[in-house]
Amino acid sequence: MSSPEPTPDERLDVLRQQIDTIDDELHDLIVRRTELVERVGEIKRDAWGQVSFIRPGREARMLRRLNAQHRGRFPRPVLLRLWREMIIGSLCLEGPFSVAVFDGRGDGEFWDLSRDHFGSFAPMRAHRSATEVVTEISAGSATVGVLPVPGSHHANDDAHWWRALFSERPGTPKVIARLPFVRMPNSRAQDLDGLVISALDPEPTGDDRSLIAVELEGSEISRDRLFEGFERAGLRARWIDSHVTGGPANLRTHLLEVPEFVAADDERLGRLRNSFPDVAARVIAIGGYATPLTLDELRYPAPPAS
Ligand SMILES: C=C(O[C@@H]1C=C(C(=O)O)C=C[C@H]1O)C(=O)O
């Protein structure tokens, strides 16, 4: 006599037992992963007396790898969000970590953007002015700062905050990441973009953008002349923002972005300085970021246009 068909409840029990087994394995793996993270933290502390443990380049490469190898129906944004939570939870064990967030309009949009990236565990503080955020990082009161992408409509009167990064003084914050790295399909502001600054040099990830600021004395020059200067130095640039200081020297600072990694000591920066022979020029790479994943790479449909 054949055994009776299992009831729906019995079938659920069997599947749920398997899910419990998998959860136990995942949990065990997280415990083991944490032990390795702690050893990584010890090495950083021993080797460099590290105060900042975050490695945005490594994090970006990990997320790209997971996204590329993902299969099955589990939503990619959620998969990557889980890893973001795990990474930041781990990072907070290695040493102090906190986030200073620009919230100029008090609408919490950058707060959400920061939470999406830095997870639910990281201590965060909102600041009404971009200058305050930069000061927090320079003073070492926060590890990373989140600010609007210059020139975007989200930046207010502090839109030129990047000028504070135009300095070769050791400890000057640099741009180290761009948010969102993974654009969450249900986040409040779909067109919101931020830059992350920290007292840390960005690292190459194999797909990067760099921000280069050029300060020129004297009369205004056209954007085409700026682009020509970059081309002569072997760099293809996109204009982001300009700032006029004025004064007797009539200083103008321009921020441009190039689609590759440019380190602070890249020899092309010297060539760029000499690309404007008739004016005194100062050139500083103020940081860069791993190119964020695109909607196409994340393979979920774009939200409907409002
Ligand atoms: C473990 C490290 O430190 C941090 C934590 C990471 C993680 O949990 O995988 C990755 C990068 C760092 O921000 C590391 O540098 O590898």
Q: In this predicted model, which residue has the larger pLDDT, 246 or 303?
A: 246
Secondary structure class of 74 (helix, strand, coil)? coil
CATH level 3 topology of 21-87: Chorismate Mutase Domain, subunit A (1.20.59)
Mutate to test the pocket of ligand 1, among 40, 44, 66 (most ligand atoms within 8 A of CB): 40
CA 152–ligand 1 middle distance (angstroms) = 31
Domain ranges of the chain: 21-87, 98-204+291-298, 208-289
Query: What value does the mean pLDDT of the chain take?
Result: 92
**Reported CATH class of domain 208-289:** alpha beta
Name which residue sits closest to atom 10 of ligand 1, judged by CA.
59
Give the model's confidence band at 302: pLDDT under 50 very low, under 70 low, under 90 confident, else very high: low
Question: Is pLDDT of 69 > 80?
Answer: yes
CA 59–ligand 1 middle distance (angstroms) = 7
Q: Which among 67, 82, 112 is positioned nearest to 300, based on CA atoms?
A: 67
Give the model's confidence band at 51: pLDDT under 50 very low, under 70 low, under 90 confident, else very high: confident
Give the model's confidence band at 155: pLDDT under 50 very low, under 70 low, under 90 confident, else very high: low
| Residue 149 neighbours by CB under 8 Å, 6+ apart | 155, 178, 193, 194, 195, 240
- The string of pLDDT tens digits covering residues 184-231 is 888 877 889 999 999 999 999 999 999 999 999 887 888 999 999 999
Looking at residue 88, its pLDDT comes to 98
Q: Which CATH architecture has domain 98-204+291-298?
A: 3-Layer(aba) Sandwich (3.40)
Q: Quick one: angle between helices 76-94 and 56-69, nearest 10?
A: 150
Residue 176 Cβ inside 6 Å of ligand 1? The answer reads: no
* Distance from C-alpha of 87 to C-alpha of 196, rounded to nearest angstrom: 16
Mean local confidence (pLDDT), 76-104: 96
Residue 87 Cβ inside 6 Å of ligand 1? The answer reads: yes
Give this complex's ipTM.
Answer: 0.99
Closest ligand 1 atom, residue 86 Cα? 8
Percent of the residues in the chain that have a pLDDT greater than 70, as a whole number = 96
Name which residue sits closest to atom 16 of ligand 1, judged by CA.
40
| CA 286 centroid distance within chain | 14
Range in 19-33, 64-78, 85-99, 210-224 the model is least confident about: 210-224
Looking at residue 156, its pLDDT comes to 62
Residue 58 Cβ inside 6 Å of ligand 1? The answer reads: yes
Give the model's confidence band at 157: pLDDT under 50 very low, under 70 low, under 90 confident, else very high: low
Neighbouring C-beta atoms of residue 105, cutoff 10 Å: 11
CA 114–ligand 1 middle distance (angstroms) = 18
